[in-house]
Amino acid sequence: MRVLYFAWLRQKVGIAEEEVAPPAEVRDVAGLIRWLAARSSGHAAAFADPRQVRAAVNQDFATPDQPVAANDEVAFFPPVTGG
C-alpha cells in the first residue's frame, strides 16, 4: 500500500510518501490512520486532530469508513485551499 502525505501532514510525518503493509485488521481509512499514527512521533503529530485530516483512496476523496486494500494509493492531507 502506497501512502502519500501533503501540506502540513507531509511536514509533520517528515516524508512525502511511504510503502506500508498494514496487518489484515486494518480495513478502512479510519483503521489505517490509527495504525499509521503509531509508527512515529511525526505520524502521531500529523494525525493528532483527525478533524483536520482528509483522505483520498486511489485519487478519490474518501470517508473514514472507505475500505483500503494492499494495492491502494491512500493520501492524507488537510482540507483543500485552492482557487
Partner 1 sequence: MARILVQDAAFDLAAETAAVTAGRVDVGGVASFLGVCRGDDGLAALVLEHYPGMTERAISRIAEQAEARWPLTACTIIHRTGRILPGEPIVLVLTASSHRAAALESCAFLIDWLKTGAPFWKREEFASGDHRWVAAKAEDDEAAARWTGAA
Which triple of cell numbers denotes residue 2? 502506497
Which one of the spans 2-10, 26-34, 41-49, 63-71 is the region binding partner 1 (CB under 8 A)? 2-10
Sheet holding 60-62, edge to edge: 17-19, 2-5, 73-77, 54-57, 60-62
Q: Which of 1, 6, 20, 30 binds partner 1 (CB under 8 A)?
A: 6
Amino acid sitting at position 83:
G
Q: Is 50 in the site for partner 1 (CB under 8 A)?
A: no
Q: Is 78 in the site for partner 1 (CB under 8 A)?
A: yes
* Min CB(79)–partner 1 separation in Å: 4
